[in-house]
Every structure is written in C-alpha cells, then in structure tokens.
Amino acid sequence: MKKKYLRYTLIALLIIVAVVAYTQIRKKSSRPEWRTDKPSMGTIREVVTATGSINPYELVEVGTEVSGRIDKIYKDFNDRVRKGELLAKLDTEILSTNLESARLEVNKARLSLNKARLDFENYQGLAAKGYAPQYDLQQAEFTYRQAEQTFNNANLSLQRAEKNLRNASITSPIDGVIVSREVAAGQTVAASMSSPTLFTIANNLDQMQITANVDEADIGRIKEGMPVEFSVDAYAGEQFMGFVKQIRLKSTTEQNVVSYSVIIDADNPGHKLLPGMTTNVTIITQSKENVLRIPETASRFSPSKEVWELFGLKWEDGMVNEARKQAMEKLMSSVKPSRDKRPDAGPAGKPDRADKAKTPPRSGMERSGSGGRPGPFGGGFAGRPAPFGGGNGGISMIWVLKDKTPQLIAVRTGVSDGAFVEVLSELDPKLEIITGVNYKDPSQAPVNSAIQGGPGMRPRF
C-alpha cells in the first residue's frame, strides 16, 4: 500500500514539474525582444517637401483689340515664332470701309475749315476798315475755331481706323513657341471689356519655372539659392534639379492653412518638362555628408512599466527620471572640462573680465532646450531632441543594451531628416541602440501602439 501511494506521489510531482517547465518554456518563447540598431556613418539632409506646377519662365497671352471674323490662321500648336511674325488675320472688309469713311470725313472737315478760315480773314479786313460789325467778326471766329476742332476730331477718327486695320493682323509680341491656339479660321471674336485670348506663347522651354506652395510652418527655413530636387509623374524615378529663385510675400489661405509661393528655376534642355505638369518638390535646407547618425526612432523610444515587466525586469517608480538625471549629469561632466580648458580662460578656468565682453553668446543648444524652453538641471540642455527640421541641435535620451540590460544615456544631437538624427557625441559603433520592441505574442502589445508609433514608443512630435 505504501508503494502504491509513493508511486502516485511521484507521478503527481512529475506532472507538476512538467507543467511548470512547459509554462516557463512557453513564457520564455513568447517573451518580446528588443528591436535594436547601431550607429552608422552617412548623409543627413533636412528638407522641405511641397507640390507645385511647372510653367514657362514667361508666358504671354496674345489677344485682339478689334472684333471680327478670323479670316486665316498662319501658326499652329508648337510652332516657333519670331517677334512681329504674323499669327492670324481678321476679315478686313468692314475695317477697310471704316477707314475710307474716315478719310472722307477728314476731307470734308478740311473743306469746312478752309471756308471758315477764309470767312474769318475777310471779316477781319472789313472790321479793320469799319465796314463790318464786331459781332459778325466774333461769329466768324467762332465758326472757324469750331471747324478747326471738327477737323482735328476727323483726323483722330482716321488714325483710329488705320490702327484698327493694322490690328486686324495678329502678330507675335515675343520670340517663342506657341503653347496653345484658342481660335480657328471662320470663328468670330468680340473685343469688348476684355481682350479674348487667341494664342498663348512661351518665350523659352529650355528654362522652366516651378511655383510651389509651402506651408507657413516651413517657409522660414527656406532661403533664396537653396538647391531643389523635384520629380514629375511622367518620368517616375527620375530626379530633376533646380534652385530657389524667389519667395513671394503674398500668402494664400485654404481651409485655414496658410501657404506661400516659392518660385524655383529649373533647366529643361531635353524639353521633358512640359507646361502644367505637377511636381513633387524637395527643397534641401541643410545637408551633411559622412556624419555619425542614429535612427530617429531611438530618440523617441521610452519603455513603459508594462514593457519593462514583460522582459522580467524590475520596475521602480522614478526609475526613468533618475536614469535620465544620471545620464544628463554624465554628459554635462564630459562637456564641462572642454569649456574650462579654453586657451582664453583665466584662473580657475574662468574667462578674464576683459575677455568676458568678447565672449559670443552661447548657442541655442547651450542656452535652452528644444523650442527655446529651459533644459533641466540648470538649463544646460533639453531632454528631447530638436524637432524635425529645427537644425539647432539639442540633447536626446537613448536606451542602449549593455549586458542585455537597457541603460539610458544622453547624447548631443544635430540635424535630423526624420529618419536619422546626427550625433555630435562620441559613440561606440558597436553599441546596440534600442529603437523599439518586437512582440512575438500580439496580445502583449499595448492597445495604443498604433498611436504611439510602435510598441513601447512615445508619439512623434
């Protein structure tokens, strides 16, 4: 009987051991892993993206000042024209008739003027001898002045008729290429309050101009002369180059979004770029080659208590703040000696009073944190990286793996392109930097991970 109970006890113990072992193995196999990366050398570019449209450098709309029927078209789409070259001609029958009528009116007015002048001169002679009353002399002078005015008006009408006849011949005002033709032979055009457009001429398709709409939040980072890369849907994968020529002061507001027009000049030697194309513009505000960089996600990562405990690590309240404080103090201590050992420093590493006035103000990174707010621990640095595109640098807190244990360190950062951020501090190239968490069991992932930008990640600012 004893042996029977002993056998059952052993079987129960084996089952318990098996269950515990299975639970531990399953728990270990489902434990998440740190997603890590290493520092690298490469290029970082700060850019501003926008959309725009391509147009020729100069686009002239050719219209008509007179109404009439299009008698003949001499030029068509894509034809090259020279300044003064005939493009089209209106029917001149009515205009020629008006010109002849104006000439007859001039001749009639000239005869009336000659008769009035003769009468006036005769009355002057008679009045001088006392044979004509003064009133008749004044009446003759009035008739003469009126005839003179009528003659001048007839001459103006003649000039207008001649001008209208000349305007019946539509000529090109510039050298260029016809982009569009809006009329056809036999069509009637009416020049009333506004001149109708007959042709649109581009002066030169070798040089194009892009008008890009840039948001007000980015316009302050753009300067004239900055390089620009852009692409068009017609040539996918091909990059075109240009530069910022002008930032226009007039703003436009659409759905409460304020934007400004940035004019970009671009060469078009192969005439691939056509008027009206939509462009995706990338304005390069700053570029650095072969710099030490880390993923931007590393500077955004911050583990939560739930993530910490999933790795079997002990969480304590205030642990992250204490680690942040120690990391900052360590960085500050590594920076301070370099300040005290300047060649112009006086006793005890302090600058002389005479040199103090010459000392330039500290950089924005030394004065304040990101966005101009005071940094922690006496205002040296900020605890967050500079916002994307800021370009002023700052301090980033990053988590690294040392002996499979996360540790927080502080590094000085420079420019960022949204994917990578420049590191100004010294970093071991073999250092494992935590950028996130890979969950083997999806049920372990936080509910708001999509909002946070990834498991264990803080939202991007």
Mean pLDDT, contiguous 10-residue spans, the chain (461 residues): 69 74 60 86 91 91 90 92 94 92 94 92 86 86 93 95 93 92 89 80 91 94 94 92 95 92 93 93 92 90 82 80 85 63 42 41 34 33 37 77 87 88 88 85 56 38 31
pLDDT at 386: 39
Sign of CA dihedral 379, 383, 387, 391: positive
What b-and-e string marks burial along 145-157, b requiring 16 or more CB atoms within 10 Å of the CB? eebeebbeebeeb
Predicted local confidence at residue 348, as pLDDT: 41
The answer as to CATH 2.40.50.100 being correct for domain 59-88+171-203 is: yes
Q: Where in the chain is the domain with CATH 1.10.287?
A: 92-167
Its pTM surpasses 0.95: no
Instruction: Provide the 3-class DSSP secondary structure of residue 360.
Output: coil
**For residues 432-442, b (16+ Cβ closer than 10 Å) or e, as one string?**
bbbbbbebeee
Is residue 280 classed as helix, strand or coil in its secondary structure?
strand
What counts of helices (H) and strands (E) characterise the chain?
Answer: 10, 19
Please provide residue 280's backbone torsions phi and psi, each rounded to the nearest 5 degrees: -105, 110
Q: List where CATH 2.40.50.100 sits in the chain.
A: 59-88+171-203
How far apart CA 58 and CA 164 sit, in angstroms, is 27
Q: Residue 121, SS3?
A: helix
Sheet bearing 197-202, strands edge to edge: 59-63, 197-202, 176-181, 80-81
Nearest residue to 183 via CA among 71, 314, 33, 299:
71
Architecture of the domain spanning 47-57+207-289: Beta Barrel (2.40)
Residues of the chain with CATH 2.40.30.170: 47-57+207-289
Which CATH fold topology does 92-167 show? Helix Hairpins (1.10.287)
